[in-house]
Amino acid sequence: MPAHPDLALHERLLRCAREPREAATLALAGVMTLAATRPSGYRSPIVGLSPGDWAALEARFFPGAGLALLPRDEAPRGEFDEFDDLVRLLAEHAAPQARDASTARWLAHAIATACTAANHLWQDLGLPGRGVLNQLMQEHFPALRRRNGADMKWKKFFYRCLCEQAEVLICKAPSCSACSDRALCFGAESGRVLLPPAIESVSGAQPPLAGGAGVRGVR
């Protein structure tokens, strides 16, 4: 399988999207587009969704995109043992007033799927910047966004949450302020955007949001 994004799929998804500038739409489309760049066992468009989920996700976000036809990765899951724990962590912290609980669950699977790849989380979700990821977390997982008020790198933050839950301390110090790895956990998450600008690449996309804010408007 080629280790590069399926840009034709990205364009199709955003062309079909009900809300092509919404952070959740961009993350779901991005993680599907980047499937081939992940390790074997995690190259399904979003790992762990049922056929019923795919039909409902398509109807809710990408009507007519043909998601049921996307290839699935049948290889056994690999080294990323914490996948299910991560999905559970996110699902347990979904916004209580979420407009539909399924969206939070799909996003939990999408984020856990992206965590199996090697870049910053915002990159592995195909987002245009870390600010969009923060917005996504604020909207759908606000308790985690609050808990990460110090702006730890998101993947590091999730692992720290899982370690705390399991009462396993892998950190070098009892507190971040006294830790020699602080720069690794809290440093800048700069990097290359892995997918082309979303809206501008889609001819015939949905009408612009009120106020004309583009993707950059949600950063």
Among residues 19, 84, 181, 200, the one that binds ligand SF4 under rule CB under 6 A: 181
> Does position 91 bind ligand SF4 by CB under 6 A?
no
Please classify residue 214 by burial: count the beta carbons closer than 10 Å to its beta carbon, then call 0-12 exposed, 13-18 middle and 19+ buried.
middle
- Region of residue 143 (left: phi > 0; alpha: psi -120 to 50; beta: else): alpha
Please work out, in degrees rounded to the nearest 5, the angle formed at the alpha carbon of residue 81 by the alpha carbons of 184 and 2: 80
Beta carbons within 8 Å of 95's beta carbon, 6+ residues apart: 104, 139, 140, 141, 142
- In the complex with ligand SF4, the residue whose CB is nearer, 4 or 172, is 172
- In the complex with ligand SF4, the residue whose CB is nearer, 77 or 182, is 182
> Does position 172 bind ligand SF4 by CB under 6 A?
yes
Measured CA to CA, the distance from residue 116 to residue 68 in angstroms comes to 22
Measured CA to CA, the distance from residue 200 to residue 219 in angstroms comes to 16
First-residue to last-residue Cα distance in the chain: 32
Among residues 162, 182, 196, 205, the one that binds ligand SF4 under rule CB under 6 A: 182
Among residues 185, 196, 205, 206, the one that binds ligand SF4 under rule CB under 6 A: 185
What is the nearest approach in angstroms of ligand SF4 to the Cβ of residue 157? Answer: 8
- In the complex with ligand SF4, the residue whose CB is nearer, 99 or 172, is 172
Measured CA to CA, the distance from residue 99 to residue 109 in angstroms comes to 18
> Does position 162 bind ligand SF4 by CB under 6 A?
no
What is the nearest approach in angstroms of ligand SF4 to the Cβ of residue 150? Answer: 9
Give which of 188, 129, 116, 118 is closest to 153, Cα–Cα.
188
- In the complex with ligand SF4, the residue whose CB is nearer, 101 or 166, is 166
Could you tell me which stretch among 38-46, 86-94, 115-123, 166-174 binds ligand SF4 (CB under 6 A)? 166-174
Q: Which residues of the shown chain bind ligand SF4 in the complex (CB under 6 A)?
A: 160, 171-173, 176, 179, 181-182, 185
